Amino acid sequence: MNKIAFVFPGQGAQTVGMGKEFFDRYDVAKRLFKEADEALDYSIMKMCFEGPENDLRLTANTQPAILTVSVIAAAVLKEHDIVPDIVGGHSLGEYSALVAAGVLKFQDAVLLVHRRGAYMQEAVPVGKGGMAAVLGLERDKIVEVCAEISKESPVQAVNFNCPGQVVIAGATVGVEKAAEALRAAGAAKCVMLPVSAPFHSTLMAPAAKKLAAELDRVEIVDASIPVVANVTGELETKAADIKQNLVIQADHPVKWEDCVAAMKTFGADTYVEAGPGKTLCGFNKRIDRSLKNLNVENIASLEKTLDYFKEVR
């Protein structure tokens, strides 16, 4: 059997009620929710289960909530003897991947992403920055158009998700102007995203600086299995490289298409998205139709995934 990759979702995958089914059935989920609440000093568990949605949508809450549910999904899979040979995550998901690879302790990661979310929000006041998904235009053209608009107002391509989908971010004015110019250049669609900050853009530099100080305070060890880095699209195992990449990641683009290419070159042909939603399954299908994509976000999807592995084993 070929290699298994666990991939972990980023922000935007959150839904009220996530993780509750795992909590009801698995002791490991109860333990991890308890650890998350202790690390944060407030109940992320209650927020995951009951909302309100507006609170769950705040970046400083969204990030630890998604990370906790993602780590639980991976832990539940491990209890069923399904473990990854390689891991990767989209943006925030990279932290979930690092927990799965033994690089970060779970409680450290929960607190780190809570602060990361707060720093990202502080970097650009609400309403001053935005993001938009650009559909149906090649990445080089998007980069070129953004560079032109940036002469007046900052905007850049920040998520290279899959063929035909690139996300841009920057000052709200810059994003709106770029969206207009990209439509004129042939983009099928430009959709403004419901986010509160221009993630992964150069405007996040103050957040990256504060994050560097936070990362100095936690223990980061070499990975037990390879982790693919968002900023390089390459496999990493050394603690020092991983730490450096996490700092840079805050204000640099996410190269998801490159990440999947690296995991495929490594030999991964089965991808399990651990955590809420199926966003990465969607991206991966568009990157390479030959890859097998599964997801685990609740009991139904877990059982489907377990059935698949029973068959192939």
Q: Which of 91, 96, 196, 201 is catalytic?
A: 91
The distance from CA 251 to its chain's CA centroid, rounded to whole angstroms, is: 14
Spell 90-104 as b/e; 16+ CB within 10 A means b: bbbbbbbbbbbbebb
Angle subtended by helix axes 239-249 and 93-100, to nearest 10:
170
The CA-atom distances, in angstroms, between 38 and each of 24, 44, 70 are 19, 9, 18
Q: Are 117 and 40 in contact (CB under 8 A)?
A: no
- Residue 80 appears among annotated catalytic residues: no
Q: Which of 90, 114, 196, 200 is catalytic?
A: 200
- Residue 114 appears among annotated catalytic residues: no
Q: Are 85 and 225 in contact (CB under 8 A)?
A: yes
Q: Are 88 and 5 in contact (CB under 8 A)?
A: yes
Q: Which two tokens stand for residue 192?
A: 């403004």
HSE-up (13 A, CA, CB side) for residue 177: 18
* Catalytic residue list: 91, 200
